[in-house]
Amino acid sequence: MDSTIKSALISVFYKDGLEPIVRKLHHLGVALYSTGGTQTFIQQLGIPCTPVEEVTGYPSILGGRVKTLHPKVFGGILARRGHAEDEQHTAEYEIPLLDLVIVDLYPFEETVKSTTDEKTIIEKIDIGGVSLIRAAGKNYKDVCIVASRNQYSHLLQVLEESNGATTLQQRLDFAAAAFTECAHYDVAIASYFNRSADTDNFQLSFSNKQSLRYGENPHQQAAFYGDLDSLFEKLNGKELSYNNLVDVDAACQIITEFTKPVFAIIKHTNVCGIAERENVTAAWDAALLCDPESAFGGVLITNQTINAEVAAKINELFFEILIAPAFDENALAILKGKKNRILLLQKQPLHTVKEYKRILNGILVQDADHINFTEWIEAGAQSTTEAQKEDLLFANIVCKHLKSNAIALIKDKQLVGKGCGQTSRVDALRQAIDKGKHFGFSLQGAVMASDAFFPFNDCVQMAHEAGITAVIQPGGSVRDADSIQYCKDHGMAMVMTQARHFKH
């Protein structure tokens, strides 16, 4: 059923984009009601509007906390047209009917991001706005509710095409969007109050939907919800795909672990090349040597500025994405030569607090794995040398970011072999050794990291036979003593960390 808009209540925080709507409503002869700053905005356009105070008989009180919370406002929104009792009440109490409500909400999330002052944050919890939106949404059969400036252009289109009338379906669509706005807003407030307390409810809400070409595979529809712009500035290339985003997340997670110059190459969320060196070019050269086959079509990331020297070398490889905190202009000139190549300037480190996974009929939630080791127990034939310790620390981090079962072999802070996603630890080690040999690395003097304990001494034996001299692992097996004894008998260093790093 179509409904012609004869009156409108407008009270918004954001005024941008509002002027064309106000002018159109005035042109259509719609009676306007407003409050505070919005009222001033409308009147400065030379358009008449009635202050809500004239309707309610009450001024804005309590520092603006109470402006529209009054029966004469909510009665005009909730009154059902054609309902005898409602019509009797609106006539008896002289309540003006409202056909359109344009109300947005105080910027609570933005305020939380910009300050830690609790008083300022609390004052940005909207009361009247949410109430008006819910009332108008509930009565969508008679009232149109617009709850976000993102819908201004759509509303203006509706007003122009229908000469100020709305259909029932349009009002229903606006109401659905309005309740979504309220739900997102309430989750943000609840999250703020629950930030230091457990809750029995799982609540997350992300806005800014970005439709993707497809999901992991072309037959799967997909979308991303979130704020990529706060993390990256895209300098070149096509839109990020589902698989791109998953790999970019993995890349950003591992790079946060390092402060010295590091380059990493990611493929299907696993690191296939990584090295730490004195400068970005040397780090790239070493990272690429780890596994130049897997690097093809990979996601590249560094914590250093991309200069022209390293850009020229990277440009020789086909890759999907390059992420860096800065790019020299000469480097960009080289790398932008291919229009689909994605270049991301990372504005800030990725800081993950919780991790989520959909399973069965619910959601798994866990703390992000920010611990590398809880203890450093020297359990081998001798204590680790300083060089071994540095390599073991590096190996432990790399292994932590591989899919389980995982083994990482490191030599001079360069990945020289890795096995991941295997159903046995022996298979993971065998894969790591084979990889290293395939790409011409000598494993003599290399170190090994394992994401979980060794159930038997077969892995340390294989490692020793391959030339590995030091091992880092969490420990915790009922047969830890077997692996420890093998290391002692064969001159190997072993560190036990008491921190497992399963990753599935």
Q: What is the mean pLDDT of residues 388-415?
A: 97
Confidence label for 379 from pLDDT (cuts 50, 70 and 90): very high
Question: Ranked by mean pLDDT, which of 70-79, 116-125, 282-291 comes out on top?
Answer: 282-291
With a cut of 80, say whether residue 81 has pLDDT above it. Answer: yes
Overall average pLDDT of the 209-227 stretch? 93
Categorize the per-residue pLDDT at 303 as very low, low, confident or very high, splitting at 50, 70 and 90: very high
pLDDT in tens, 125-166: 988 889 999 999 999 999 999 999 999 999 999 999 998 899
Tokens of 97: 């009917």
Q: What is the pLDDT of residue 61?
A: 73
Q: What is the mean pLDDT of the chain?
A: 93
292 has pLDDT over 70: yes
pLDDT for 72 equals 85
347 is catalytic: no
Nearest alpha carbon to residue 455 among 498, 485, 426, 496? 426
Residues 143, 49: Cα–Cα separation, whole Å: 19
- Quick one: DSSP state of residue 219? T
* Chain segment 320-332, per-residue pLDDT in tens: 999 999 999 999 9
pLDDT confidence of residue 70: 83
Looking at residue 206, its pLDDT comes to 83
Phi, psi for residue 269 in degrees, rounded to 5: 70, -10
pLDDT at 200 over 90: no
Confidence bin at 197 (pLDDT 50/70/90): low
Mean pLDDT, to the nearest integer, of 434-457? 96
Question: In the structure, what pLDDT confidence band is assigned to residue 241 with cuts at 50, 70 and 90?
Answer: very high
Out of 15, 124, 138, 437, which one is annotated catalytic?
138
Phi, psi (deg, nearest 5) at residue 118: -65, -40
Q: How far apart are CA 227 and CA 4, in angstroms?
A: 38
Cβ-Cβ contacts under 8 Å for 472 (sequence gap 6 or more): 392, 395, 396, 447, 448, 449, 450, 494, 495, 496, 497
C-alpha–C-alpha distance, residues 297 and 244, integer Å = 11
Active site residue 138: yes
Report pTM: 0.85
Say whether pLDDT at 186 is over 70.
yes
What's the average model confidence in pLDDT over 175-190?
92
Extract the tokens encoding 35: 């409050």
Give the mean model confidence (pLDDT) for residues 411-427: 97
Summarize the chain as % helix, strand, coil (round to 5). 40, 20, 40
Cα–Cα distance list, 475 to 270, 334, 425 (Å): 23, 48, 14
The token pair that represents 396 in the structure block: 């432990």
Among 163, 212, 138, smallest CA distance to 27 is for 163
- Give the contacts of 157 (CB within 8 A, at least 6 positions apart): none
pLDDT at 380: 95
CA dist 43 and 315 (Å) reads: 58
- Mean pLDDT across 233-261: 96
Copy the structure tokens of residue 115.
Answer: 């300050």
452: closest CA among 422, 487, 417? 422
**Active-site entry in 89, 268, 488, 490:** 268
The pLDDT confidence band at residue 36, using thresholds 50, 70 and 90, is confident
